[in-house]
Amino acid sequence: MDARDSIESPAMTETNPDPQTSPQAGATAGPAISVATKSPAAGLRGRRDVGTVELQGLHAYYGSNHAVRGVDLGFAADQVTAIIGPSGCGKSTMVRCINRMHEEIDGARAEGHVLLDGLDLYDSRIDIVAVRRAVGMVFQKPNPFPTMSVFDNVVSGLRLSGASRSEMDDRGREALIGAGLWDEVKDRLKGPGVGLSGGQQQRLCIARALAVEPEVLLMDEPCSALDPVATLKIEELIGELKQRVTIVIVTHNMQQAARVADTTVFMLDGELVEVGPTDKLFTTPDDERTEQYVTGKFG
């Protein structure tokens, strides 16, 4: 199945339960084009051939602040791509354009194209809710729903899409296993999600994102609120998850990029300076500005 295949509503009505991605815009659109996700349980069956993302001439603005300036960039399926660069260079903004979250901010707009498996997510007929189902997101600070149990957090997106009880049980469990959390929470599934440690909460948010079977998982500084042990767990998890989702991770931590990413992208002042295999970018970059940044001469 690729992104051109339609999937039926009401599965479209709730996709990413993160409050920050509340998809009101998509609810009113009456979409003509839907974005597919994988069929349930397709996740761990070996290599995928879907989940390729391509940015074409992407610009993003906050009012007159031109935060992303004409980025052309591809993200390969089965890969982890890290975005690095000094604070304020546009990393988060660029990533938020991929699931059309950027435009939810007052005064913000984006121009250009984001293709998911060739489908333009900025086509005027696209279902924005479906975009956010296909492109999940995890944030810097874990944000489980405070009133929900561990399990209800994980299946919140599925419940709103009308999944049956047994489907929620199966996919919820699978998502918790996929997020490396099952063994730690299987005896406290009915306990509050916010009762978990910070690192567990972040993996709970990853499980919540995985439960709706996204093609792409955006991670915006997912470890910056975590201690080193919890960080290590998330980094190990990222290595496993790339088998099932395309991962784009924003990080200010160059060691982390070097540890987890196949490909690294260096941005500066809203522009893409260089993209390449992580080893190369850190050891023999082509651009002098990359070399200066990775050797700590600025930023």
- Site of interaction with ligand ADP (CB under 6 A): 62, 65, 67, 85, 87-93, 105
Min. distance of Cβ 220 from ligand ADP in angstroms? 8
* CA separation for the pair 54, 94 (Å, rounded): 12
Q: Which residues contact 260 (CB under 8 A, 6 or more apart)?
A: 80, 82, 235, 238, 239, 249
Within 13 Å of residue 183, how many CA atoms lie on the same side as its CB?
1
Answer for the pair 2, 53: CB distance below 8 angstroms, yes or no. no
CA distances from 293 to 57, 261, 266 (A): 24, 17, 9
Q: Quote the least distance from Cβ 89 to ligand ADP, whole Å.
A: 4
Least distance (Å) from ligand ADP to the CB of residue 211?
Answer: 27
Cα–Cα separations (whole angstroms), residue 137 to 98, 198, 220: 10, 17, 8
For residue 96, the minimal CB distance to ligand ADP (Å) is 8
Token look-up 């005027």 returns 124
Nearer to ligand ADP, 60 or 210 (CB): 60
Instruction: Identify the DSSP state of 28.
Output: T
**How near is the Cβ of 293 to ligand ADP at its closest, in Å?**
12
103 vs 262 by CB, closer to ligand ADP? 103
Structure tokens at 233: 């767990």
Q: Nearer to ligand ADP by C-beta: 54 or 271?
A: 271
